[in-house]
Amino acid sequence: MELPQRKKKHPGLILSFLVVLPLSLVILAVSACVILYNYFSYNLPRLYSLNDYRPPLVTEVYAGTGELIGEFCTERRYMVKLPAVAPVFIKAIIAAEDAQFFEHKGINYESILRAALINLLSGEIKQGGSTITQQITKSLLLTPEKSYARKIKEAILARRIETSLTKNDILTLYINQIYFGQGAYGVEAAARSYFGKSAAALTLAEAALLAGLPKAPSYYSPLRYLARARQRQSYVLERMLEQRYITAAEKQAAEKEPLGFKQLENINATRSPYFTEYIRQAVEKKYGAQALYEDGLRIETTLNIAMEQAAQEAIRYGLEEYEKRHKKASLDKKRVEAALVCMDPYSGYIRAMIGGRDFSNTQFNRAVQAQRQPGSSFKPIIYAAALDKGYTPASIIVDAPIAFKMGRGKLWEPQNYDEKYLGPITLRKALTLSRNVVTIKILQDIGINYAVKYARQFGIDTPLNKDLTLALGTPNLTLLQMVQAYAVFCAHGVRVEPLAITRILDRDGSLVEENSPQLYQALNPQTAYLMTSLLQSVVEEGTGKKVSALNRPCAGKTGSTNDFRDAWFIGFTPQLVTGAWVGYDDNASLGKRETGGVVAAPIWLNFMQQVVKDIPVKLFEVPEGVVFAKINPATGFAPQSASEATIFECFKEGTMPMPYYRDAAGQ
């Protein structure tokens, strides 16, 4: 029986198998890598240049005198370039985080293998082995989750960044992006937060301490765990020594150097809180919260820091004096409040703004948000309207009782503050002594609608009551509105809109907004001067006499309301216009005889004494069309004989009074 023969193996088939199989495996491996690369790199974010890096930055607010007065942010970060950072910090961060930074191409395979072995042995991810470039990708472009998928994406992005950016660009990203604790993102914020200085001024000891924080900012916080922070600092210094960035002597000196930590000042609450909040609300309303808190704007304002501080001191002084008079405890729940606004009458620049005695207690800004009755401080608007309707400072009005029929048979019998009547008096004397009855008679004569329309010329756009109580200052107005109105008298009849922001720049230094004074001719210069002269009399011999202690030309008017609920003084020199208000938020009475001249005028005086002491004394300018003539103050007419008592009075040209002649019967 013949056995079947076995088929001989073809040597060529075996050879082909040995060649094709490895090749197939290689192809499969490459394909798998390509598939995995495409899978993990799909829809990953891109970063081609430093211009693509737009992290949230701090918006800074500056006074007109250059001081930083406010900051707004979601992340405290100030963008800086490498030359603006102490070189010793750059060396420290490289030594601590990635000693081979300048050698690798985004990935340090030796570190990765070492980390992988540690993680494998421990059974969990304990070490990452990430380079600075990989840390940027994790912080900037990915989530912080710990997974192998994220590590793969991190490696892909790191390689992309290394091909798109220079090493210096990558370092710039890193030192601005990393978190140092205490709300500080980036080295500039960290230097300011921990040491109260710029990143350019960091010492070796400070740089080494900061460079050790990104690993675990909370754990190594020097403000909470100084021993840990010092230990980490020593590690960084040791790494710097190994890299020959420093000498052993420098290391030892840095380890012994005392660290002077400084608590970060909340400048929003300490420099000019009410004004800064006023700016915040305006910018957020116009540009939105994201622009305000993340776009790194530079907001330049009109504030004068020295004047703001003087205003704070004046408010404190005035309220302390009031409380002494009333023996009120400083811990009383209901405390008297005050506000002050100072403005340049020619540009509208707000130089100082205080909205209350304590911003930490209440952020309500009584300078711009509280609408209160101005009382007699509103009277100058009525008198100005009268001057433009035929009255002169020498016009005679009878100060005598008056009554008006109200509804249901009731009578309104307005009275003067002192409940006395002076008979026939000049318009100047009526304003000087703030006679209520005379002002009501003037308003009745010129017409309420005329007076309301006239008030609009001063920038008062809030509702005004159309009745005779308008003469007594019953509308609800803000302090800023009143200051703007009085600025018209000072600025020769020109109304200027209050201005708080001069410029806004974006993070790149490009102009976002620029504001110039907005001027409107509200009164003729002659009327404005006559009112200024009348208000000078108020200071020299009337209800505002207390502020004559300023010892330079100034004009102004007191204001008080029913039951002494509000006390005002609005006044000006040829250079500045300022208003002060005092009252309780719940409209409680300040107390008997606590008038504007008693409560508010001292605050105004204290403030102005501080801010004008270095300003040259200047007289109010007399415009063309204003003339001076002698009059008899008792009659308002030109004198008939040399024996009559006379004063010089100012008039618009052509309105001077003629001599008063009596007939043969003496009538």
**Segment 376-417, tens digit of pLDDT:** 999 999 999 999 999 999 999 999 999 988 777 788 999 999
What pLDDT, on the 0 to 100 scale, is given for residue 581?
98
Q: How far is CA 292 from the centre of its chain?
A: 12
Examine the pLDDT at 15 and tell me if it is beyond 90: no
Average pLDDT over residues 334-363: 96
Examine the pLDDT at 290 and tell me if it is beyond 90: yes
Q: Does residue 49 lie in a domain region?
A: no
Catalytic entry in 60, 97, 154, 277: 97
Active-site residue flag, 188: no
Average pLDDT over residues 249-278: 92
- Dig out the tokens for 516 from the structure: 């110039």
- Which of 199, 223, 256 represents a domain boundary (last residue)? 256
- Which of 226, 256, 286 represents a domain boundary (last residue)? 256
Q: How far is CA 610 from the centre of its chain?
A: 22
Q: How many domains does the chain have?
A: 3
Q: Does residue 410 lie in a domain region?
A: yes
pLDDT tens string 533-552: 999 999 999 999 999 999 99
For 321-328, the CB contacts below 8 A with 24+ separation are 321/602, 322/582, 322/590, 322/594, 322/599, 325/591, 326/591
Q: CATH number of the domain that 460 lies in?
A: 3.40.710.10
197, 260 contact by CB (below 8 A): no
Q: Does residue 209 lie in a domain region?
A: yes
H runs (alpha helix) in 510-550:
525-541
* DSSP one-letter string for 349-407: BEEEEE--S-TTT----TTTT--B--GGGGHHHHHHHHHTTT--TT-EEEE----EE-G
Residues 232 and 211: their CA atoms lie apart, in Å, by: 9
Q: Does residue 70 lie in a domain region?
A: no
Task: Give the Å distances, CA to CA, from 392 to 189, 320, 437, 660.
Answer: 63, 41, 18, 16
Residues 198 and 215: their CA atoms lie apart, in Å, by: 22
- The residues facing 300 across adjacent strands are 62, 503
Average pLDDT over residues 129-143: 76
Q: Are residues 250 and 398 in the same domain?
A: no
Catalytic entry in 111, 130, 193, 376: 376
- Express as a percent the part of the chain with pLDDT over 90: 73
Query: What mean pLDDT, rounded, does the chain reach?
Result: 89
Task: Give the Å distances, CA to CA, from 490 to 169, 537, 597.
Answer: 56, 15, 21
Q: Are residues 243 and 98 in the same domain?
A: yes
Task: For residue 380, give every residue at least 6 positions away whose Cβ sits within 8 Å of its Cβ, in sequence order, or none.
Answer: 431, 486, 489, 531, 534, 535, 557
Q: Are residues 91 and 223 in the same domain?
A: yes
Task: Give the Å distances, CA to CA, from 271 to 62, 278, 655.
Answer: 11, 13, 51
What are the helix and strand counts (H, E) for the chain?
21, 20
Q: Does residue 27 lie in a domain region?
A: no
| Residue 627 three-state SS | strand
- Which of 461, 476, 491 represents a domain boundary (last residue)? 476
- The residues facing 659 across adjacent strands are 638
Q: Does residue 427 lie in a domain region?
A: yes
Domain range for 661 is 624-667
> β-pairing, 511-514 with 501-505?
antiparallel
Q: CATH number of the domain that 140 lies in?
A: 1.10.3810.10
Active-site residue flag, 434: no
- Dig out the tokens for 510 from the structure: 């490009």
Q: How far is CA 238 from the centre of its chain?
A: 45
- Segment among 94-98, 421-425, 640-644 with least mean pLDDT: 640-644
- Segment among 167-176, 332-341, 577-586 with least mean pLDDT: 332-341
Average pLDDT over residues 119-139: 68
Q: Does residue 9 lie in a domain region?
A: no
Q: Does residue 444 lie in a domain region?
A: yes
Residues 241 and 84: their CA atoms lie apart, in Å, by: 24
CB-count exposure of residue 648 (10 Å: 0-12, 13-18, 19+): exposed
